[in-house]
Amino acid sequence: MQSLEGITVMQIILREDFLSLGYIGDTVSVKRGFARNFLIPRGLAVEASQTNDRLLKHKLSVILAKRLKKKLEAEQFGNILKQVTVEFTLKVGAKGKSFGVVTSKDIEASLKVLGYQVDRRQIRLVDAIKSSGLHTVEVKLHSEVSIPLQIKVIAAQLAAPVVSAEEGETGKGRRKGRKMAAAEDAFDGDSEAAAQTDQSVESESAE
């Protein structure tokens, strides 16, 4: 048992994987209260102490046997995961600026959809992925087993309505044409009315 910056800590050996601390068989230092009140009573760890040397050796043999089994399982799972490529699509603007990022939580969710159970704390992603292309992230499946995972990010261009100068002039021409047609219709209407008036006058004169 030792003191770290005023906090009493002790060394323990993990009997099960506890991702925020380590993996089975790892020796780690934790707060004494956390070890005594939570980890040890729940069978998640044993105290790394020489007090009960014989008992500790027996427990260690059991822990190490389980550790070896888990390592083999992690290696087998890792060989499968190495062949997987996780794909994402990010929207990209006209100037190449991406909208959105890919995080370890996103990778965890996508792997789950593909049928692979990986905790996001096992995905070693320093910064969120913001650019398109192929990326490789480390996945730690065991204290002695880490594998590379391929991440493919596809850029999807944002569609923006672009009006060229030619199309703009054409639009103006169409609007102008419609206005002229309306004016001509109005003029034709006035001409027809005038013609009808002239015909009425001629008829009255003849009578």
Share of the chain above pLDDT 90, in %: 52
Quote the CA–CA distance of 202 and 169 in Å, as a whole number.
49
What sections of the chain are H helices per DSSP? 32-34, 53-81, 104-113, 165-206
Q: Tell me which of 17-31, 41-55, 120-134, 178-192 is least confident.
A: 178-192
186 CB contacts (<8 Å, ≥6 apart)?
none
Cβ-based neighbours of 141, under 8 Å, separated by 6 or more: 74, 77, 78, 81, 118, 122, 147
Please tell me the predicted confidence (pLDDT) of residue 191.
Answer: 45
- pLDDT-derived band at 156 (thresholds 50, 70, 90) equals confident
**Domains annotated on the chain, with CATH:** 2-72 (3.40.5.10), 85-157 (3.10.430.100)
List Cβ neighbours of 139 (8 Å cut-off, separation of 6 or more). 78, 81, 118, 122, 123, 124, 146, 147, 148, 149
Q: In whole angstroms, what is the distance from residue 171 CA to residue 165 CA?
A: 10
Separation of alpha carbons 207 and 205, rounded Å = 5
